[in-house]
Chains A and B, each alone.
Chain A
Amino acid sequence: MGDASEDRTAGAAAARRAVEAVWRIESARVIAGLARLLRDVGLAEDLAQDALVAALETWPKTGVPDNPGAWLMATGRRRAIDLIRRNRRLEDKQQELARDLAIQLAMGSADLDAALDDDIGDDLLSLIFTCCHPVLSTEARVALTLRMLGGLTTPEIARAYLVPESTVAQRIVRAKRTLAEAHVPFEAPTGADRTDRLGSVLEVVYLIFNEGYSATAGDDWLRPGLCEDALRFGRILAGLTPREPEVHGLVALMEIQASRTAARIGPSGEAVLLLDQDRARWDQMLIRRGLAALERAQDLGGAFGPYALQAAIAACHVRARTAADTDWERLAALYDALAQLAPSPVVQLNRAVAVSMAFGPQAGLDLVDVLESDGTLDGYHLLPSVRGDLLAKLGRLDEARADFERAAALTRNTRERDLLQQRAAECARGAAGH
């Protein structure tokens, strides 16, 4: 008896996982298709969720249908029609839609052909742009994208972002309301604001990637899993907008960063800096994919887009067989271009390091001293850490020791603090020996 009920429970769990797998593959397309019909992304997602519930009830008994996406879409559509019949507000919206269609017909608009085209690609792109609309807060954009494009559940998003489920649920409800109240049209922008809107989409995808990438501990697979989700979003976007160089630039950046995942963490869980990483652990397939994406971005004339430039910097590192083979002159030039495009003190600091490696420590120190006098990096331990390193190379050991001590006091990472204190002590010994 007990065995039979355990079998049933195991069978039900397996059936549930199978339905969830279909959901992960189909949900974005179903939501996008329903959103085109209803012109309301929030409502489309609710109905798609209803379809998922119906699938969870039906498929374990009947088996997964041959075309599960079409099944979900048909179920969602039926619910939509039911809802339209019941809901006065929506009825008005439908009448509005019908009126729009009649006007387009009368004007012989080409839009109608596009509207009737069954190609889901346009709908998917509209969905992505809507989830990443600037009217929404960054957090809301991230949550909506993971949920609508990635098929993640609210608990999954909450676990990945280490926040309570209720917070995520609230963010999503509020985001849907904001989209409805702002009358955000369900479309991919084609006009002058397309570049800005695309920038917002890319920002969301890269934020999701970085959230996963900065999670050094692998105790919960959902956080590193965010990198895979972001990569998937990037690849989907590249397929939908193949002529946008920055999309390929972002994909290149993410593929190359992801290629170093296994080498970034040492045996006891400590972070390993790029130049100290075991390059044999870099994932050569992701590197190849990244370099290919970067080449596409450059072929499309986008070599100097911010993501393509960052990808070019990452590519410069992975092309070097050893840390000593690194082309520092090229890196210095790339950081220079990036600093002009997107001025940031952190980029400047990286540029100073590249310049010091290419043209000697004094050249790097000059740049670091400019940054130091700016004061924008006050409290950032890497500034005195880099400065100490350059001073040590120049044999100015007393000054170097002072900077290493300053850096050690600023870092919150104990391992890094040990290392900096060790370098300070070395400088002190060296200075005494002179």
Chain B
Amino acid sequence: MRFMMFIYPGIEDEANWNPSAEDVAAMTAYNEKLTQAGVLLALDGLHPSAEGARVTYPGGKAKVTDGPFAEAKELIGGYWLIQAKSKEEAVEWASRCPCTEGAVVEVRRVFEMSDFPADVQEAATLSSTPPQQTASA
């Protein structure tokens, strides 16, 4: 099974946020542990919301609102994609994330094709030609 772990760092003043060397070292050590355990599939950190945008759909039409966004609790700071045997294992990994009070790590299981009935699987097949590989050597 795959799980996505979203981190909501809960930073009040996003624009003036600067992580300390210790914070970065702790997070790097955590990421290394995930790698060494063979569970990490992918991870990324995100730029502040000031550089992002939100698209809403009032009346079904797209409406763009540029960042920054005020609600610190709702701001995602990054994600990890991990492979784990159970939800409990994923939660255990999330529990080990070096976070301070106010942060939230949300653990969500990734849908797999086999979770869907056959007709949905059929509908999900958009094209028989997958996108070109970016990593092709």
Complex formed: what's the CA distance from A232 to B35 in Å? 10
CB distance from B38 to the nearest CB of A (A): 4
Contact with B along A6-40 (1 / 0, CB 8 A): 00000000000110111011000000000000000
Stretch at the interface among B14-22, B47-55, B71-79, B87-95: B87-95
Nearest A residue to B93, CB-CB? A25
A21 and B128 within 8 A (CB)? no
With contacts A225-B85, A280-B125, A291-B137 taken as known, whether A233 is within 8 angstroms of B38 at the C-beta atoms is: yes
B38, A231: Cβ atoms under 8 Å?
A: yes
Number of interface residues of B (CB under 8 A): 36
Across the interface, do B88 and A21 meet the contact criterion of CB distance under 8 Å? yes
Q: For A120, give the chain B residue with the smallest CB separation.
A: B36
Q: Is B89 within 8 A of A24, CB to CB?
A: yes
Instruction: Please name the residue on chain A nearest to B129 by beta carbon.
Output: A321
Residues of A with C-beta under 8 A to B118:
267
Q: How many whole Å from B54's CB to the nearest CB in chain A?
A: 26
Q: Which of A132-140, A169-177, A234-242, A373-381 contacts B (4 or more CB under 8 A)?
A: A234-242
**A residues near B126, Cβ cutoff 8 Å:** 280
**0 or 1 for each of B23-41: is its CB under 8 Å from A? (1 = yes):** 0000000000001111101
B86, B113, B133, B137: the one within 8 Å of A284 (CB): B133
The reply to whether the CB of B100 lies closer than 8 angstroms to some CB of chain A is: no
Cβ-defined contact, B136 with A291, below 8 A? yes
Q: Nearest Cβ in chain B — how far from A222, in angstroms?
A: 10
8 Å CB contact of B130 from A228, A280, A294:
A280
Tell me if A21 and B83 are in contact (CB < 8 A). Answer: no
Which residues in B have their C-beta under 8 angstroms from that of A21?
85-86, 88-89, 91-92
**Distance between Cα atoms of A238 and B121 in the complex (Å):** 35
Does A278 reach chain B (CB closer than 8 Å)? Answer: yes
Which of B85, B112, B133 is A287 in contact with, Cβ under 8 Å? B133
A273 at the B interface (CB under 8 A): no
Beta-carbon nearest neighbor of B85 in chain A = A24
- Docked complex: A264-312 residues within 8 A CB-CB of B: 267, 278-282, 284-285, 287-289, 291-292, 294-295
Residue of B nearest to A251 (CB): B38
A193-235: contact bitstring with B at CB < 8 Å (1 yes, 0 no)? Answer: 0000000000000000000000000100000010010011111
In the assembly, what is the distance between CA of A20 and CA of B127, in Å?
Answer: 41
- Given A218-B114, A234-B38, decide whether A22 and B92 contact each other with a Cβ distance below 8 A: yes
Give, as a whole number of angstroms, the nearest-CB distance from B1 to chain A.
Answer: 8
Is A319 an interface residue, CB under 8 A from the partner? yes
Please report the C-alpha to C-alpha distance between residue A319 and residue B129 in the assembled complex, in whole angstroms: 11
B35 touches A239 (CB 8 A): yes
Q: How far is the CB of A300 from chain B (nearest CB, A)?
A: 14
Please tell me if the beta carbons of B133 and A279 are within 8 angstroms of each other in the complex: no
Judged by a CB distance under 8 angstroms, whether A322 is at the interface is yes
Can you name the residue of chain A whose Cβ is closest to the Cβ of B86? A21
Q: Is the CB of B129 within 8 A of A285?
A: no
Of B95, B114, B129, which is within 8 A of A322 by CB? B129
Most chain A CB within 10 A, of B41, B85, B131, B132, is at: B85
The 7 closest A-B pairs by CB, nearest first: A235-B38, A21-B88, A232-B38, A21-B89, A236-B38, A21-B92, A17-B88
In the complex, 6 of the A-B residue pairs with CB atoms within 8 angstroms, ordered by the A residue number, are A21-B85, A25-B37, A64-B95, A280-B125, A285-B41, A287-B133
Q: Which residues of A contact B (CB under 8 A)?
A: 17-18, 20-22, 24-25, 64, 121, 218, 225, 228, 231-236, 239-240, 262, 267, 278-282, 284-285, 287-289, 291-292, 294-295, 318-319, 321-322
